[in-house]
Structure 1
Amino acid sequence: MTTLYPSAARPNHGVFVENRLRHLLAGGEATSTVLAPVPWFPSRSPRFGAWAAFASVPEVEERHGIAVHHPRYLALPGVGMLTNPPALHHALHAAALGLMRSGRTFDAVDGHYLFPDGVAAVWLARRLGLPVVLTARGSDVSLWPHRPLARRLIQGAMARADALIAVSAGLRDGLLELGAPPGKVTVLRNGVDLGLFRPPLQRESARAALGLGEEPVLLSVGLLIERKGHHHVIRALADLPGHRLLILGDGPDRASLASLAERCGVAGRVRFEGAVPHAALPRYYGAADAMVLASSREGWANVLLESMACGTPVVASPAWGSREAVAAPEAGIVLDAADPARIAEGVRRLLAAPPDRAATRAYAERFGWEQTTEGQLALFRRVLRWAA
């Protein structure tokens, strides 16, 4: 269970959770029903923006052969810190009981994101008498614990969970600083779909299809929100004459980022591509010369592996997981800090002597999903033995 899961109305939302689950289930040893709650909202009118998207999420759908249920919970603006954990728990419990009455049985709860999702997942698991595994993913460890109430609830959830997963060693250290017992935390990094994300057969054609010329092309991928750092990349572009920037993603900061590009005098070299379907991302990665990750907080940024799997090296901020994912010259560069000056210098350094794209792809091939899937299965087997 998690609020970070795609739907027909929001196909890119939490796709990294779906991808990990798909690979877990592919071998046939495990089956899963997904409970992915969304806030209740009464109207689908576009004038309500993101809230209207919640109303458009179907109650039940099937994605990649997996049953996905979207129970509604009451999300109250301004007081969500207090109300979201119990509201989520109430919605999840009602949905789980309904499924169990229809004949479904469950062995464990697999919860993603510690707050409020993980807190509600632990409450649900204990109420149903099931073991629970929680996965920490980034800002649930770097951001939410700065709020005293959230910190207490997260620490309580960690103490009551049967096992914890961190998607990077850096994130594991963050969990330990919060008080997680070392023996309870397993590091299982994210992987990359090496079949989907691969270099284009003809890179020149891929660039032409996107309307790109011979100028160096940078990508910045992610939600258009402050912590993703797109504003730093736009400012860096002012010190990178002749370079073009494609920004992939949508979000509340789009207008302010466009205004920033105008003020920096680079608007003619910045293209906002909007929310690109996951399956269409490889053509952008494959056409680019470098992908820039300027995020201030990440557990393990999937965009790094996706870019490298397409043969495109990266310039990455020092967020959690970056040095684990970018650990060789052919992968790219990890910056000491993601400010505009360092980003510009890193791009110049990388593109002055770019790695062989085949070597970048070969590096990424060590990050397939097999090891993570085996680790998950081993962990769930162990947890179920403890519960027995």
Structure 2
Amino acid sequence: MKPLKVLTFSTLFPNSVKPSHGIFVETRLRELLKSGQVESRVIAPVPWFPSRHERWGDYAKFAAVPAREQRNGLDVRHPRYLLLPKVGMTSAPLMLALGARAAVQQLIDEGFDPDVIDAHYYYPDGVAAALLAKWFDKPLTITARGTDLNLIPQYALPRRMIEWAARRAAGSIGVCAALMDVLRGWGHEPAKLHTLRNGVDLERFRPLPPAAMRAELGVDGDPLLLSVGHLIERKGHDIAIDALAELLPARPGARLVIIGEGEERAALLARAARLGVADKVRLTGALANTELLKWYSAADVLLLCSSREGWANVLLESMACGTPVVATDIWGTPEVVAAPAAGRLVAERSGAAFAAGVQALLSAGVDRAATRRYAEGFSWQATTEGQLALFQAVTGVATHA
């Protein structure tokens, strides 16, 4: 039986310049391919920039992304699209689709005629994919991952485009039930809405000896707190710093490590200095998964103080290393942190509330082995089976012998 041909479409996909960008999309695809029932090609557009000149800042890196590359056995193409200043948000779906159209045609000309287009992130990627599906007469699935449905729809025109794409799609996938509740609330057909959560790579993220990891990393803390994610406002690293300051009177040995890079770096350093905890806060910058593993294992608690999350991969990564979490009780997070072994949920996004959550967690006692066992319940198998069933339903192509 020939494998079902899936065209994966998303701007959220790793490349040789940004190897961790959208790695969760690549991971889900790689797990799907392990089934042996699917063949895939990837189109991951990047914004067009004329050169690598430093005046473009971080965007200059896009100019260095190759037009085509092989990643972990996957054929990945990076067509360019115009990202227009000021009107980029509303023009992006059309620019994306136009930029990718020739790449899709080239795939077909080379003999890879997809049975289905599988898009990730509803806006602008999903809307662009809906245009491509219309132009090439292909069934479409779109996966919602977080801000694409819990933030962007507050803008009227993007919401209308998202609704159009959802009607055009043969199936919508949410990485948590809360995201599909958004489309359900808009009146979209329940039979087309599917929740397929992210899993965790239990081999990549595994417990390492905490004491040995602390010695290797040159870090201590009693407790050692971790906050991981882009340094942007909605991730709430500022609240993690506040929580440390609140915690210190009761636990003077507490330390906080923040892993990530972004626009809030200077503000976070200033906040730590203002609160008198600068010597107890360490910012590492962005790190590869091979390094994250060590930090998760070294820490006592992971803090996730976000205002919005779909399905936060850092939660499961931390738990897989045996480290429980304290996280904001929002969107998909309660679906991840659903047992005492996982950690604690915090209703209020404040330093005092998170400090109280850490205290409650530590006072109850941490069983790292139990936290790891909890994470082992989140393998990728169920998600892979759900995708295969959905693709079969929307294409009519059997995926099982």
**TM (normalized to structure 1)?**
0.97
Residues 246, 271 of structure 1: 8 Å contact kept:
yes
Specify every segment of 5 or more residues in structure 2 that has no aligned partner in the other structure, as ranges: 1-8
Q: What is the 5 A alignment of 1:180-259? A: 180-200=188-208, 202-241=209-248, 242-259=253-270
Matched to 2:106, the amino acid is G
The superposition leaves residues 298-341 of structure 1 with CA deviations (integer Å, 9 ceiling, x where unpaired) of 11001111000100000011122111111111110011122211
Tell me by how many angstroms 1:354 deviates. 2.8
Residue of 24, 35, 48 corresponding to 2:32: 24
Q: How does 1:46-85 map to 2 (within 5 A)?
A: 46-85=54-93
Amino acid of the residue matched to residue 195 of structure 1?
Answer: E
- The farther-off stretch of 274-283 and 16-25 is 274-283
Q: Secondary structure at the match of 1:179?
A: coil
CA distance in 2, matches of 1:130, 1:2: 16
Query: Equivalent residue for 2:6?
Result: none
Partner residue of 2:4? none
Change in CA separation of 1:270 and 1:214 when aligned onto 2, cut-off 3 Å: closer
- Aligned partner of 1:261 in structure 2 is 272
**Structure 1: which 5+ residue stretches go unaligned?**
none
Secondary structure class of the residue paired with 1:49:
helix
1:310-325 to 2 correspondences below 5 Å: 310-325=321-336
1:247 partner amino acid: I
Contact 1:155/1:179 (<8 A) preserved? no
Contact 2:239/2:305 (8 A) holds in 1? yes
Q: Does the Cα contact within 8 Å between 1:41 and 1:54 map onto a contact in 2?
A: yes
Q: Give the Cα–Cα distance (whole angstroms) in 2 for the partners of residues 350 and 47 of structure 1.
A: 47
Structure 1: how far apart are the matches of 2:31 and 2:199? 10
1:280-359 equivalences in 2 (<5 Å): 280-359=291-370
Residue type of the partner of 1:349? A
Match of 1:363 among 374, 380, 393: 374
Displacement after TM superposition at 1:44 (Å) = 1.4
Deviation, structure 1 residue 288? 0.2
Deviation, 1:153, is 0.3
Query: Alpha-carbon deviation of 1:245?
Result: 0.8
| Residue equivalent to 1:35 | 43
Q: When the two structures are superposed, what TM-score results if normalisation uses the length of structure 2?
A: 0.94
Structure 1: which 4+ aligned runs deviate by more than 6 Å?
A: none
Name 1:118's counterpart in structure 2: 126
Q: Percent of aligned positions with the same letter in both sequences?
A: 53
Q: Cα–Cα, structure 1 residues 327 and 380, in superposed 2: closer, same or farther, change >3 Å?
A: same
Distance 2:349 2:386 in 1: 32
Whether the 8 Å CA contact 1:110–1:132 is kept in 2: the answer is: yes
String of CA shifts for 1:186-240, please: whole Å, max 9, x gaps: 100000001111100x221111111123521111111111111111111211112
Rounded to whole Å, the distance in 2 between the matches of 1:229 and 1:350 is 20
| Deviation of the 1:280 alpha carbon | 2.2
